[in-house]
Amino acid sequence: MRILSSSDSEDGWTSIPSEPINVVVTGAAGQIAYSLLYQLAAGSVFGPNQPINLRLLDIPVMMTVLDGVIMELEDLALPLLREITPTTDPNVAFKNVAAAFLVGSMPRKEGMERKDLLAANAEIFKVQGKALDQHARKDVKVLVVGNPANTNAWICSHHAPSIPKENFTAMTRLDQNRAQAALAARLNVSVDKVKNVIIWGNHSSTQYPDAAHATVNVQGSTKPVPSVVNDDNWLNITFVEKIQKRGAAVISARKMSSAMSAAKAAGDHMRDWWIGTKPGEWVSMGVLSDGSYGIPRDIVFSFPVAIENGQYKIVQELQINDFARSKLSNTSKELEEERTEANNVLQNK
Ligand code: NAI
């Protein structure tokens, strides 16, 4: 199978019809999957010429709900969708998959600490890591959406030693999209005019949404966002807090967590990983730290990455000022603590 490359056609997609690829979505009966599955079946993630077989994993009590989702998938009448396999067995779900969306997880219940959430999810991601190790393609691209996403991705990769660690990523694209939209609203431009805003660190309230390197196109000329905004207090406090707390604001209004926007972000993340980013542009992904920017190694940390031929590279040599440095160290500290917790949980099993 060919990895789609941005050189294949003007819009980035190959025009050569391909064999179907197997794609797994976990938590397939849940909210995010409900919006994500349409994007996958319609070709907006893997391209309009890439047929797919969907593997849909959920837990036994959700199988009736999943039946309904499958009826709807059939009724979409989309030609790229070749096979659908509903299952409760990770060994079936992960067989020969080329891409994995790990959305399913134990939700946070009232009064539950982040630590308890981590413990509940560590076992799920251990089991799925092992199943990926045994059954998936060795070049599988894994996107973890289920929270705590960064540490779940770390757990998963540690239980899949035969798959390169670079193939495990966590989703911070929703945070990036939120940040891009907030800057566009502030500057009164459409979102496509704002580029290269960065989410550093954990997909949690310690994340650092950073507009210092972002650009905005105003009337045909590209300018640095900080000089156009011209309000450091807004950028360093109001903007940062708005993005950090956006998920909670959606929950408070909708009484459910972000789903449509999370699904769109998951599609964006995988599509860019699959076909690449445009020259000079980058996106944020939680990836295993290689020590770039002084971030401790062996945590899944969100960095700006540029992607070519299905491989991402952390964007290097961005200037980090003292303010940004303190934010980066705060969020990396939280990820180190989560890793310690995850290790404790897994060792005590
Ligand atoms: P949901 O509760 O609607 O769906 C979750 C689904 O996962 C349920 O159908 C559940 O049965 C299933 N599930 C539970 N354990 C499973 C297992 N072991 N194997 C397979 N499936 C399993 O939740 P929703 O809204 O779809 O969110 C899913 C996750 O995504 C949550 O952890 C949420 O916090 C997270 N999330 C992450 C975001 C990010 O930016 N990284 C943004 C928004 C949500």
Q: How many domains does the chain have?
A: 2
Residue that is last in its domain, among 146, 170, 194: 170
For position 154, what pLDDT does the model report?
Answer: 97
Provide, for the chain, the percentages of residues in helix, strand and coil under a 3-state DSSP scheme, each rounded to the nearest 5: 45, 20, 35
Task: Ligand 1, residue 203: give the atom nearest the CA.
Answer: 41
Residue in this structure with the two tokens 């779940």, named with its chain if needed: 152
Please report whether residue 236 resides in a domain.
Answer: yes
Indicate which CATH number applies to the domain containing 243: 3.90.110.10
What is the residue with the minimal CA distance to atom 9 of ligand 1?
Answer: 30
- Distance (angstroms) between ligand 1 centre and the Cα of 261 equals 14
Specify binding-site residues: 58, 108, 114, 121, 145-147, 178
Residue 134 within any structural domain of the chain: yes
Please state, in angstroms and as integers, the Cα–Cα distance from residue 82 to each residue in 51, 68, 155, 282, following that order.
Answer: 7, 18, 32, 33
Residue to mutate (ligand 1; options 69, 91, 105; most atoms within 8 A of CB): 105
Instruction: Examine residue 294 and state whether it is found in any structural domain, yes or no.
Output: yes
pLDDT of residue 6: 34
Are 121 and 136 contained in the same domain? Answer: yes
Q: Are residues 322 and 244 in the same domain?
A: yes
What pLDDT is stored for residue 66 in this prediction? 98
Same-domain check for residues 95 and 82: yes
**Is there a single domain that holds both residue 91 and residue 122?**
yes
Same domain, 244 and 308: yes
Ligand 1 proximity of 204 Cβ (cutoff 6 Å): no
The per-residue DSSP string of 184-209 comes to HHHHTS-GGGEE--EEEB-SSTT-EE
Looking at the domain assignment, is residue 343 inside a domain?
Answer: no
Residue 159, CA distances (Å) to 109, 122, 125, 220 in order: 26, 11, 8, 49
State whether 116 and 138 are in the same domain: yes
Q: Is ligand 1 within 6 A of the CB of residue 62?
A: yes
Rg of the Cα atoms in the chain = 20
Q: Is residue 306 part of a domain?
A: yes
Which residues on adjacent β-strands are paired with residue 52?
Answer: 21, 81
Are 265 and 298 a contacting pair, CB within 8 Å? no
Tokens of 330: 């705060």
Active site residue 203: yes
Say if residue 193 is in the same domain as residue 334. yes
- For residues 163 and 183, membership in a common domain is answered with no
pLDDT in tens, the chain (349 residues): 222 233 345 556 655 557 999 999 999 999 999 999 999 999 999 999 999 999 999 999 999 999 999 999 999 999 999 999 999 999 999 999 999 999 999 877 767 777 788 888 999 999 999 999 999 999 999 999 999 999 999 999 999 999 999 999 999 999 999 999 999 999 999 999 999 999 999 999 999 999 999 999 999 999 999 999 999 999 999 999 999 999 999 999 999 999 999 999 999 999 999 999 999 999 999 999 999 999 999 999 999 999 999 999 999 999 999 999 999 999 999 999 999 999 888 887 6
Degrees, nearest 5: CA angle 72-86-105: 95
What is the span of the domain harbouring residue 294?
Answer: 173-338
Please report the pLDDT score of residue 16 as a whole number: 54
Q: Is the CB of 264 under 6 A from ligand 1?
A: no
140 & 9 share domain: yes
Distance CA 274, CA 97 (A): 14
Which CATH number covers residue 66?
Answer: 3.40.50.720
Domain match, 138 and 63 both:
yes
147 shares its domain with 55: yes
Same domain, 203 and 135: no
Give the number of C-alpha atoms closer than 13 A to the C-alpha of residue 278, restricted to the C-beta side.
7
**d(CA 107, ligand 1 centre) in Å:** 7
Atom of ligand 1 nearest to the CA of 124: 18
